[in-house]
Structure 1
Amino acid sequence: MGRGIEIRDAHFPGRAPIDAYGDGGFRFADMSHRGSLLCLPSGIHGWDVTEESTLDVALFKRVLDEARDIEVLLVGTGQDIRRLPPELKIRLRDARIISDPMSTGAAVRTYNVMLAESRAVAAALIAV
């Protein structure tokens, strides 16, 4: 008898530095994940976003839901830096979150440093 494939939302229930990135995914906490990630106070979540995605407010709902525990959101926008849409910047600012778009590599490095400093940081990382 064959087993069916169970599809679950990817979620690591803790905070962990990102050990490596590239080839369409990330390594952290002795695990690997293909695709993009949201690194939030509630843990690390799979994020269904690519470099071609429009960065609208709906994609950041989980970030806004946890806003009280986030001071800085690093947005790794892929290989290149992309501006955040004005509506998204306003929603994040209204939630008292400082948003900082940068390449995914720079976002990973900055996230790891801020996490090590126990800062209230979150990251939205588009896989490269």
Structure 2
Amino acid sequence: MSRGEGPGYLPEQAQIDVYGNGGFRFADMSHRGSILCLPSGIHAWTAVEGQPLKPDDFDKVIAEAERIEFLLVGTGLDIKPLSAELKALFRSHGMNSDPMSTGAAVRTYNIMLSEKRPVAAAFIAV
């Protein structure tokens, strides 16, 4: 994936067409690994299933917080709750956060994006 800011970046929001096998397909492109879907575009993300999420994993999200009302977090095959620290971080920047399995998060993201809602997503690859 790359169009613009180097490898691992698509400079536009796009629906996720397929997920699984360790990656995602969108906008006639594919990416192995996790992704952040932000108002500025789709970015490669270093998060992996089974590793705890930390505030600095969301630096790019926070940088665009003024354009995000809803943050969906696809936590892998299963739903894993967000830490109190992460929930407080997102709230302090005016974002509602919702953890769910990656599959459910992808489906919800696609619906919200098609409705032109101020949504972003962090998807851990499955």
TM-score range, shorter chain: over 0.9
The one of 79, 83, 86 equivalent to 1:85 is 83
Structure 2: runs of 5 or more not aligned: 1-5
Give the counterpart letter for 1:29 in structure 2: A
SS of residue in 2 equivalent to 1:79: coil
Percent of residue pairs bearing the same amino acid type: 61
- What whole-Å deviation, never above 9, does each CA across 1:88-115 have from its counterpart, x for those lacking one? 1001000000000000000000000000
- What whole-Å deviation, never above 9, does each CA across 1:9-46 have from its counterpart, x for those lacking one? 40000010000000000000000000000000000000
Q: CA separation in 1, counterparts of 2:15 and 2:112?
A: 10
Aligned pairs for 1:22-37 within 5 A: 22-37=20-35
Structure with larger Rg? 1
SS of residue in 2 equivalent to 1:18: coil
Give the counterpart letter for 2:23 in structure 1: G
Give the counterpart letter for 2:11 in structure 1: P
Between the two proteins, the alignment pairs up a number of residues equal to 121
Structure 1: runs of 5 or more not aligned: 1-7
What is the aligned-residue RMSD (CA, Å)? 0.7
The one of 51, 54, 74 equivalent to 1:53 is 51
SS of residue in 2 equivalent to 1:44: strand
Counterpart position of 2:11: 13
SS of residue in 2 equivalent to 1:75: strand
Give the counterpart letter for 1:68 in structure 2: E
What TM-score, normalized to structure 2? 0.94
Runs of 4 or more above 4 Å deviation: none
Q: CA separation in 1, counterparts of 2:56 and 2:62?
A: 10
Counterpart position of 1:5: none
Give the counterpart letter for 2:95 in structure 1: I
Counterpart position of 1:67: 65
Q: CA separation in 1, counterparts of 2:91 and 2:76?
A: 22
Q: CA separation in 1, counterparts of 2:37 and 2:63?
A: 13
